[in-house]
Amino acid sequence: MKKNIIFIILATFTILFSNSCTKDFENINVDPSIVSDVDVRFLFTSSSEKLQTVRVNEWTWEDLEQFLRVSQLLTAQTYELSGAVNTRYNYFYTYILPNLFEMRRLISTKADKEKYQKISAATYIVQIFQGLRVTDVNGSIPYTEANQGRNSAIYNPVYDNQKTLFDTWLKELDSSIQILESSLADQVSFGNNDIFYKGDWTKWIKLANSLKLRIAARYQNPDQTKAAQIFNEVMTDATGPISSIDDQMTYNNPNYMPFATTGYMIDYRSVRYGVETVVDYMKSTGDPRLGIYYSKNDLVGSFQDTLTKYGKTLPAWCNLGDPLIMYQGGPADFQSNPDKSTYFSNQFDAGGANRFWLISPINRTFFAPQINNGTGKFVDVLVSYAEVCLHISEFIEKGYGSGYGTSKEWYDKGVHASATTMNNIAVVAKSTTVDNISAKIDTYLTNPKVVLDGTNNLEKIYIQELLNFYRQGNEAFTLVRRTGYPKFGSTLLAREVMSETLYRRFWLTDPGEVNRANFNAAMSEEGFTPSDQSLASLSSQRIWFDINSPDFGNGN
Amino acid sequence: MKKKHSGRYFLNILPLPLKTLRVMKLSVLLTCMLSVNMMASVYSQNARFDLDIKDQSVRDVLKIIENESQFRFFYNDDFTDLNKTLTFTAADQSIDDLMSLVLENTAVSYKLLDNNFIVITPNTSLQQRKITGTVTDAKTGNPLPGVTIVIEGTTKGFITDAFGKYSIDISDNNPVLVFSFVGYVNQRIPVGGQSVINVPLAINLQELQEVVVTALGMSKESKKLGFSVTQVNGADLAMTKQINPVNSLQGKVAGLQIDQGAAGPFGSTRIVIRGNSTLSTNNQPIFVVDGVIVENDVVTGGRDFGNDLANLNSEDFESISVLKGSAAAALYGSRAINGVILITTKKGVKSDGIGVDFSQSLMVYDPYKGPKFQNEYGGGTVGAFFTDTRDPNYLPTQQWTTKVFPIDPLTNEPYIDCQINREGENWGPKFANQKVRNYDGTWTEYKAVPNNFLDAFQKGMLNTTNFAFQGATDRTTFRFSYTREDQQGIVKESGLLKNGFNLRATHQLTKWLSADVSTDYTTTDITNPQNLTSNDPFSGNSFGHAFTWVIPRNYDTKYWSQPDKYISSFGGTPQPYTNPLETNKVPVSLFWFGLYENKVTQENNSLRGRFSLDAKLTDWADLILEGNLNNVYSQYEDKERGQNIGFAGGSYTRNDSRKLNTFGKWMLNFTNIKIIDALKFNGFVGGETQSTTKSYTQGSTSGGLLIPDNYFVSNSILTPSVIGGTTYNKKINSLYSTADLEFRNQLFLTGTWRGDWSSALTYKDGTGNNFYNYPSLSLAWIFTETFKLPKVITFGKLRANYAALGKDTDPFILNPGYLFEGKAVGQTGDPSQATFSSTSTLAANIKPERKIAKEVGMEMRFLNSRIGFDLSVYRDNTYDQIIDISTPVESGVTGLKINAGNIQNTGIELTLDGTPIQTADFRWNSKLTYSRNKNLIVSLGEGRNEYSLGGDAGFSSSWAVVGQSYGVIRSMYGMEKYTDATNPSDPNIGLPILNWRNDARAAFPKRSNVWNTMGNINAKFRAGWSNDVSYKNWSLNVLFDAKIGGDMSLESYRCGTHSGVLANTLFGRDASHGGITWTSKYDGITYDDGIIVNGVFAQGQTITQPDGTSANVGGMTFKQAYDAGLVEPTHAPQYYYRYASWSTGTADFSVVENSWISLRQVALSYTLPKKICSRMKMTAVTLSLIGRDLCYLYNTLPLNFNPVSYNTNQTSAAGEDGFLPMIRTLGGSVKISF
């Protein structure tokens, strides 16, 4: 009996243990939710979405606290540049480039790879769109050797200087445009996986050309000839740049709330106010965007009766005869004019229980439709038709090319496009809107301070570019850097002197021992002190496109 | 069936007597014992007995005779002699002969009466006599003075004199004397008829002969081990009443580092044996309960539900073995690279009574101390500049003025600054019971609420009930236990309820086959555990964070934590910022709302089942077969109440997860094979297979709840999100063997070998370096058996071992691919998104990790074992670790997984123990443990010198740096120090460089923005000192433990300095606290909060003067510039605010030494005397009073910060990010056995 039982036990366990020591290991060690074959279009959507995710950080820490303030489109307390800025840099390498590179790699291994040529071409446009934004504030960055860790074991990519970047991108854009413009049969479409254009290749071509205009704008100070050459390429291209509001690169997702679900982040750390120079310019020119951009102060309704009743007199800068008295800006330097800046944080005592806010904040609903339980939605136009028109106007005005119409035509188109787009955004945001805006723009364009009549043409174009970049801090900051406009003492829109030292770029952090040599080489090529985040360095050590630029406010 | 059973009687009646006996029995039955059978004596006298008795008590033998004959016995049941056990064989004996045999050597005699009654009486001659004798050392024959002699069952004690002699008067009939002496084996001697008893006492090698449980559950004599194992008695741990059994090991084992986390009593605890041996964030040992591996996962941030260890019940522990060295753990394979904590549960034992143990304890958690806050100033902002939005109703002239209330311009009434939509600051007015409007508009007196932090807590309670039934027969043991732990947390609405059932049975199926089966089912319900970290003041729920960052000193916790205060009259939380009609502007309402209105629960159902069969094949070989499974089902629910008007918003998440671990093993065990006379062999070969899978499904609402306050997944405004999958799947197959050689009871050599095949090292195509093996060799030499050494040395042993261990990696790592990221919800058609499953890439041919461990040790005992020590010295090196070497982000990958590195741990562990005092009634045992570990990163990957370990806390994180150690605390935010190459003798060199802000007129240290070493998490040494004092039935345990050295980053210290709530921010706030009084030339206002900042201005620094000119102060210290009239004092609030702010602060001051000495435990217990117990029909009653974590006798953290505050139990944890108060536990227990 003992033998039998032992035999049975042994037999049972022999069966249990008789499998090979590695049986089924190759299946056990695979996560069922990880696939080895993926629709490349899914990768594209992921990268495209991340272009916007990073903007959540930028809105608060860069646009509101830094760029729009330094560009004097709004005024607020001074905040130091902190580690919260420049998130775009890591995003670019972590979330945007890897998928796009992988798409192209996967496509190159496909048997039917010729069907994916256009999809492949579009990937460059996305990466250049973001790459441009990264170099705009950082100068030299890895690109030509970037993202080669996974497949080529390059972990120390060289930092390309900005000229190399621009030239590489121009080549890549040209190549993409060429592929997208050719009539290739049987191309796989992005469909809804293209969140910007739903697979409309023409619009991608227009975007690529518009990005070339952005590069041209940056090329002007280092190399005007090159800028002109790019401009002419774009204007003579079969498809050309963005040519209507419908072509704009727009991120439009009702669930996107960059200022948090209640919109409270719009006032995070500080309420932002209109700047007196801009508000006064818009008031004096009858700019229909005034109410879209800024909110009214408390000088509305029967405020005059109250003042009379209590015998109160408003500060001198509030002119009772001004029909637009409800729009008042404050000093761009938050502390520069204590008599006025006190009203940023204090109300005017109008007698009795009446207290009036005198300075207009930015229109919070326009930026954060959810504020005050609002139900509007946020629309982000990333590359606008207005920008394109105004760039063309600027380049024609500068004589870079001819035969494309007059600078005034493009200027007028641009101002129309800008106001219409801003109004459209306001409609969706359920913010302040303007009726018959087109007619109002027509009138506006006849105002002597606005009309492109040969006096101060370039300045007027710059001013419109600036006003159009009210929701694009990075572009506004680039504009004021490359042009030196608005300029001090202007009779149109003057820049106000700010007492703080103003940076002209961000900084890159030490990449660690693996790539420190390349990093230091790039920093030294640019004349940057590595890891130095002091304003002294950030203001004096400029990136390539900015080296020949005038100082802030010193445009000519 | 004439077979004799050992221990069982067999009454053999010869043919003839058998018949008579039967008649006799019949007649007894017929007469029903009513009348005296006249014939009985005749029959009885003739009765012959055939008896085979083995190990039966006298009483039992008498019962047997009664049962099988008509003799009836009368005796006093108290006669101790009746307990005497007998073994004899009686053949064909008369009752007289039989009785002589039975009562031989007892102090009683019998009398046979006519009616077959036998009366047993004591031998009167033996009463009231004197016993004398001499006690000697059994080996040397020398007399032993001071030996304690106790009459068993009494408290009467005697002591031998200087010549080892004693004399005792006894009145009992047959007492038993117990001779005891430190270092000797107790002797128990029944007096019987003797009057002179000379007792030789043998030296006690008990600790050395102690049997310990080692790897794979094998019991071994500790003296034969060539490696270091520390075994702790389960009862000692159960006594500490800790929910997490790891905590109860604190201070008891040399080389064990235990640090509790910030989540309080049921949170996770970090445990490390002999230092961090790998670069991973989890260097914790595995826990093996009766062969079943229980995961010891790390918990990082968020709510800490504890890990699977919380499902264990220390009441069921028989013993815990800590296998420290790799040689000890080698047989566990790859999972044991960080050591093994081996738990053996109790099994049934034969008991005196009916075998029921009951214990009940009540422990009270007392949150007794918070950090040192200041209580002189209340809430208010730092000034107008460079800060969050300031209340508009400060006057325009108060830009730099703090210590004032804003005034409502309509009513001209002061109110407490509500600090809406900003962090809370504490730069408001000095407390003077001013009348002021409170946050909700009511009038209040402005005063400090010194205890507002502790007011947020309540006394917690832990009620533990344990029932155990047990019993045993010769072939079977069983034990069933039920444990209930009901804990009420120190935070309202938090708690834990645990019900554990454990059944273990062993059975000898046949003489050669036995089975051991156990099952454990435990349910643990945890509600609202603590958050370890929180960086978000508006939604987080970390107390430490709230009270150092957003809650000012005037905040009355008891008042504001009431529902009608933290809930808005509109429903949801008060929203003064977004709802203009809101009247309640209290800060931090969301904190209480989140704490009391949200409910996060996790219910774990843990089932462990195990069987083991042991077949004795021959005298020298056993076959053991074992299987077990460990299954944990968890159901997690998160009910977040809507915070918007009408309770809109909110969310619900439900997660169901499962962990399943199955295990099968066979083992062929060889015992006591004699090779030659002096050489014995033991050993085994075996194999096992284990597999672990983890999976989950989670559904959650999205975009808020459709109907507020209703918690189910489909109650979702947007499409609910559903995710799930398998997160872990690993199988390891193994073979192993050991050989123990034993030479003349003095040399012991053990060799082990194990080979593992791991699925985790297998590529998709089936290839991979998935086999690895590791040998170990250990040698023990009891040199006191070899040499004749001076008498003072009782015992001495040297040991040495060498082991190699291997380790695989996590499953799936080797087979990356693409991962669906979910849909881009909101975009047309909700398009799908995908990306890489891993942001790091893999080197080719990943191979197993390797650890080489070497250890030598020495164990000695002196003065008849009265004192002794155990010393281990070790060096471990871990090579070829599978780590993600970080790569620059520009390469497109964040890391490269390679085999790299060499980490070395060198250390020493020392245990000293002794019995300083021993008298008849009093005994004091003392044990000191000391351990010191030095970690050295010998190398990382090629060309790599630094490796980030994560474990971030505040500004700092922990790193491995070549030439330094695991856990170097580094920060990019250290102060930049002044240098001047042109003038190396400048006395200002080395001072912090100052930042200057013209608008705030403030100087503060400048950040360097480069990585700087700030400290090191590793302790210099750890020590524990345990004392056991017993006096008669009383015993007292006092345990201290200490960690000396090692740094910690205190994020809350930074926060509290920034916000001005901590006591260190008083300096300079007013003249009485050292503030400089001056009239500012900038505005003509007189201030009294000026300080001279320590530091030097950078070259080229200019300061705008009151007249608008600019003065160059470069290279001057602040003091020099101040003396030169170029700078006014910095306002103290501006200084502290900037010095410690997230955006400009510096890290140096918040990385501090974390050394402490803790009075870990005081436990007093009293065992009721046996007499009282038996009067109550109980076998034992023990009453205990326990105090745990009583106080810190020494604490180097500033302002009494709580050392028990780590924000994760990752072994790389750099520090704290939100703390709880110091919590002590006080309570009592009663333990009763029936």
Is pLDDT of A292 > 90? yes
* Greatest extent of chain A over all pairs of C-alpha atoms, in Å: 117
Å between B507 CA and nearest CA of chain A: 16
Task: Please indicate whether, in this complex, the C-beta atoms of B615 and A31 are within 8 angstroms of each other.
Answer: no
Q: State chain B's mean pLDDT as an integer.
A: 85
Cα B375 to Cα B435, B450, B451, B642, B1061: the distances in Å are: 18, 6, 10, 35, 8
Q: Which of B409, B762, B837 sits opposite A22 (nearest CB)?
A: B762
pLDDT higher than threshold 60 for residue B44: no
Distances (CA, A) of B455 to B384, B561, B1056: 32, 10, 18
DSSP 8-state secondary structure symbol assigned to residue A495 = B
CA-based nearest residue in chain A for residue B943 = A514
A 355-414 residues inside an 8 A Cβ radius of B: 355, 371-373
How large is the average pLDDT for residues B215-226? 80
What residue of A is the nearest CA neighbor of B627?
A13
**Angle made by CA atoms A473, A476, A481, in degrees to the nearest 5:** 125
- Cα radius of gyration (chain A): 28
**Looking at residues A501-520, what average pLDDT do you find?**
93
> Tokens at residue A528, please?
């940057």
- The answer to whether residues B1047 and B1213 touch, using CB atoms and an 8 Å cutoff, is no
Residue B315's pLDDT is 81
Environment class of A166 (CB within 10 Å of its CB; exposed 0-12, middle 13-18, buried 19+): buried
Among left, alpha and beta (phi > 0; psi -120 to 50; other), residue B402 is beta
Q: What is the pLDDT of residue A284?
A: 96
- DSSP output for B759-794: GGG--TTS-S--EEEEEEEEEEEEHHHHS---TTEE
CA–CA distance, B59 with B1084 (Å, rounded to integer): 105
Helix, strand, or coil (residue B680) = strand
Q: What digits encode the pLDDT tens for the residues B775-819?
A: 999 999 999 989 888 888 989 999 999 999 888 899 999 999 999
Q: Provide, as residue numbers in chain B, all residues whose Cβ is less than 8 Å from the Cβ of A267.
A: 389, 421, 577
Average pLDDT estimate for B956-963: 93
CA B390, CA A271: separation in Å to the nearest integer? 10
pLDDT at B594 over 80: yes
Distance CA B938, CA B927 (A): 35
Quickly state the pLDDT bin for A512 (edges 50, 70, 90).
confident
Residue B263 binned pLDDT confidence (cut-offs 50, 70, 90): low
- The Cα B873–Cα B1101 span in angstroms is 56
The one-letter code for the residue type at B79 is: F
Q: What are φ and ψ of residue A253, in 5° steps? A: -135, 120
Which of B730, B491, B527 minimizes the C-alpha distance to B635? B527
State the Cα–Cα distance between residues A464 and A458, nearest whole angstrom. Answer: 10
Q: What are phi and psi of B128, to 5 degrees?
A: 50, 65
In angstroms, how far is CA B404 from the centroid of its own chain? 49
Q: What band does B867 get if pLDDT is binned at 50, 70 and 90?
A: very high
- Name the more confident of B236 and B1123: B1123
In chain B, what residues touch A197 (CB-CB under 8 Å)? none
**Hey, what amino acid is at B145?**
P
Residues whose CB is less than 8 angstroms from the CB of residue B373 and which lie 6 or more positions away in sequence, other chains included: B450, B453, B547, B553, B1056, B1061, B1062, B1063
* CATH class of this structure's domain A38-54+86-252: mainly alpha
Reported pTM:
0.82
A-chain residues within 8 Å CB-CB of B886?
Answer: 512
Please tell me which residue of chain A has the smallest CA distance to B814. Answer: A29
The ipTM assigned to this model is 0.92
pLDDT higher than threshold 50 for residue B36: no
CA distance A3 to chain B (A): 9
Q: Where are the domains of chain A?
A: 38-54+86-252, 296-360
Element (H, E) at B134: strand B129-137
Which of A39, A80, A142 faces B890 most closely, judged by CB atoms? A142
- The A residues from 224 to 253 touching B (CB cutoff 8 Å) are 253
Query: Per residue in B457-477, pLDDT tens?
Result: 999 998 999 999 988 888 888
Round the average pLDDT of chain A to a whole number and report it. Answer: 93
| Chains A–B, number of C-beta pairs less than 8 Å apart | 288
Contact criterion met (CB < 8 Å) for B1010 and A28: no
Query: What is residue A15's predicted lDDT score, i.e. its pLDDT?
Result: 63
Q: Which one, of A118, A104, A100, A106, lies nearest residue A179 by Cα?
A: A118
Distance from CA of A320 to the nearest CA of B (A): 24
A499, B765: Cβ pair inside 8 Å? Answer: no
- CB A13 to CB B825 under 8 A? no
Nearest CA in chain A to B513: A2
Quick check: A42 and B834 CB within 8 A?
Answer: yes
pLDDT at residue number B213: 80
Whether B23 and chain A come into contact, CB under 8 Å, resolves to no
- Cβ of B823: how many Cβ atoms within 10 Å? 16
CA of A409 vs chain B CAs: smallest distance (Å): 35
Instruction: Decide if B834 and A43 are in contact by the 8 Å CB cutoff.
Output: yes
Residue A300 in contact with partner chain B when CB distance is under 8 A = no
Whether B1119 and B1093 have beta carbons less than 8 Å apart is answered as no
**Count of CB atoms situated within 10 Å of the CB of B175:** 21
Distance CA A547, CA A537 (A): 14
- CA pair distance B996, B1095, nearest whole angstrom: 11
B665 Cα to chain A: minimum distance (Å): 9
* Higher pLDDT among residues A389 and B1234, named by residue: A389
Check CB contact under 8 Å for A198 and B945.
Answer: no
Cross-chain Cβ contact A269/B422 below 8 Å:
yes
- String of b and e for B1017-1043 (b: at least 16 CB within 10 Å)? bbbebbbbbbbbbbeeeebbbbbbbbb
Q: Which two tokens stand for residue B88?
A: 């004899």
The two three-digit tokens of residue B1082, written as one number: 């900038």
CA atoms within 13 A on the CB side of A33: 18
B residues 668-707 closer than 8 Å to A (CB): 687, 689, 691, 703
Report the alpha-carbon distance of residue A153 to residue B892 in Å, rounded.
10
Q: For an interface test with A, give the residue of B891, B1011, B1141 to mutate (most A CBs within 10 A).
A: B891
Angle at B62 between CA B58 and CA B67, to 5 degrees: 145
Q: Which residue of A has its CA nearest to B686?
A: A17
Determine the residue of chain A that is closest to B948 in CA distance: A512
Residues A526-535, mean pLDDT to the nearest whole number: 89
- A417-452 as b/e: b if 16+ CB within 10 A: bbbbbbbbbbeebebbbbeebeebbeebbeeebbbb
Neighbours of A8 (CB within 10 A): 10
Which of A205, A278, A276 shows the shortest CA–CA distance to A242?
A: A205
Tens-place pLDDT, residues A305-335: 999 999 999 999 999 999 999 999 999 988 7
Percent of chain A with pLDDT over 70: 97
The verdict on a CB contact (< 8 Å) between A267 and B766 is no
Q: B-contacting residues of A 271-290, CB under 8 Å?
A: 271
Highest mean pLDDT among B241-245, B273-277, B618-622: B618-622
Q: How many CB atoms lie within 10 A of CB B563?
A: 10
H or E stretch including B320?
strand B317-323
A460: tokens are 């007027």
In A, which residues are within 8 Å of B945 by CB distance? 513
Indicate which of B764, B890, B1001 best probes the interface with A, i.e. most A CBs within 10 Å of its own CB.
B890
The residues, any chain, with a CB within 8 Å of residue B1147's CB and separated by 6 or more, are B954, B955, B956, B971, B973, B974, B1014, B1049, B1054
> Nearest Cα to B1080, choosing from B998, B1001, B999?
B1001
CA dist B108 and B122 (Å) reads: 4
Please compute the mean of the pLDDT values over residues B322-347 and round it to a whole number: 82
Can you tell me the distance from the alpha carbon of B989 to that of B213, in angstroms, rounded to the nearest whole number? 60
User: B667 at the A interface (CB within 8 A)?
Assistant: no
d(CA B1171, CA B1179): 9
Are A28 and B730 in contact (CB < 8 Å)? yes
Partner A contacted by B623 (CB < 8 A):
yes
Q: What confidence tens digit (pLDDT) does each residue in B715-774 have?
A: 999 889 899 999 999 999 999 999 999 998 889 999 999 999 999 999 999 999 999 988
